Structure 1
Amino acid sequence: MAGKKASKATTTDGAEAAPDGAKSGGVVGIALLAVGALATSFATVYFLTPSAPVEATPACAPGESPAVAESSIKPNQSYVELRDILVTIGSEPATRYIKLKIAIICDTGNTTIVTDAEPVLIDAFTNYLRSVELTDFENPGFYSHMRDQLGRRSQLVLGGGVSDGVLITEFLLR
């Protein structure tokens, strides 16, 4: 018979070691692993659950209606659209540009002030937009920052009581 015998090695104290290729641990190792996983799962849930009872959110009574959110549009608010703004972006050759259409938010009585100041507004917006790098537009958080910066410039040009901010109605980066 041509059978293969597993070779056994002896340790220094004379005890026989496991044969070559034999796995150690077996069922006991798997059981210990399962017990450890259960213990850590229990500990995670136990220690991360708030100790105080969570109050239920109040529900509307059958005859009540829920509170309605206030509108951000004021009754006497107007929007004055400016001409398109076209600015090259970056310091490289003029291959990339941004095209914006902006509306100024103001009270109805201040629309003529905004219309008269349109060239100064466009100049202030253009100066800011020329300082923006192409990499800034790759950051999604930049767009709210850009709207805030344009709003600040409109308030500087028109005064704090005239401009209530800006809306970017069209945006093209090419």
Structure 2
Amino acid sequence: MAKKGAAKAGDQAADGGDQTSEKKSGGGFVGLAILAVGAMTSSFATVYVLASDPPTGPACPVVETGPSVEPIAQQDQSYVELQDILITIGSEPATRYLKMKVSIVTGNGSTGMVEKAEPVLIDAFTNYLRSVELSDFENPDFYAHMREQLSRRSELVLGGGVSQGVLITEFLLR
């Protein structure tokens, strides 16, 4: 009989354990359905309340700009590309060098004069670039100054009416 009582107690413990594991927490499918309906209702209400009437004016506002800017490139200009300039930089042995390609901006009728003066222009540019130190090239503000100096030298060689500026089309410092 003791065995029989122990078996009943074991069966009841097993039944009680099964009953607690079968219980589910939360609302199940009904809870998820209520949550989904609530989310859809709040989303619709938010869009409906926050939506405003469409604007009656133009889609893109008209912004007035300042005075018109004249383009740098003109129709009556020509660009004469000079041969490559290759020089060593600094006073140390030839470990660093500069390779540069320059174009002269001139009027359409003056291209022949620029082509004839190319050796003199290269000489003037080379003399200036040899005086530049390596530390100058490390300063970003130096490049505008260098362009001004090259432009000034082209005006000295060609004259102010012929040379209208200098364009640096290739620049390699190694």
Q: Could you say which TM-score interval applies, normalised by the shorter chain?
A: 0.5 to 0.7
Higher helix share: 2
C-alpha change, 1:74 and 1:91, in structure 2 (3 Å) is: same
Code of the aligned partner of 1:153: R
Aligned equivalents of 1:130, 1:66: Cα separation in 2: 43
Q: Please state how far the C-alpha of 1:74 moved relative to its aligned partner.
A: 1.8
Equivalence for 2:80: 80
Q: CA deviation at 1:75?
A: 1.7
Query: 1: distance between equivalents of 2:94 and 2:173?
Result: 13
What's the TM-score once normalised by structure 2's chain length? Answer: 0.62
Query: Which residue matches 1:9?
Result: none
5+ unaligned residues in a row in structure 2: which ranges?
A: 1-60
Q: Amino acid of the residue matched to residue 170 of structure 1?
A: E
CA-atom RMSD, angstroms?
A: 1.9
Q: Distance in 1 between matches of 2:72 and 2:127?
A: 29
Opposite residue 80 of structure 1, the aligned amino acid is V
Deviation at 1:68, TM superposition (A): 3.6
Q: Which residue of 1 aligns with 2:172?
A: 172
Percent of aligned pairs with the same residue?
Answer: 69
Query: Shift of residue 95 of structure 1?
Result: 0.5
Which residue number corresponds to residue 96 of structure 1? 96
In structure 2, the partner of 1:159 is: 159
Residues 88-167 of structure 1 aligned to structure 2 (within 5 Å): 88-167=88-167
Q: Deviations over 1:10-36 (max 9, x none)?
A: xxxxxxxxxxxxxxxxxxxxxxxxxxx
TM-score by length of 1: 0.62
Return the alpha-carbon distance in structure 1 between the equivalents of residues 140 and 153 of structure 2.
21
Cα distance in 2 for partners of 1:66, 1:96 equals 46
* Aligned equivalents of 1:146, 1:95: Cα separation in 2: 22
Q: Distance in 2 between matches of 1:166 and 1:117?
A: 14
Output the CA distance in 1 between the equivalents of 2:122 and 2:68: 38
The number of aligned residues is 114
The C-alpha deviation readout for 1:53-97, integer Å capped at 9, x for no partner, is xxxxxxxx96x8875422112220000000000010000000000
Once residues 122 and 154 of structure 1 are traced to their aligned partners in structure 2, the CA distance between those partners, rounded to angstroms, is 9
Distance 1:67 1:151 in 2: 28
Question: Matched residues in 2 for 1:67 and 1:133: separation?
Answer: 41
SS in 2 for 1:91: coil
2:118 maps to amino acid: E
Q: Please name the residue that 2:29 is paired with.
A: none
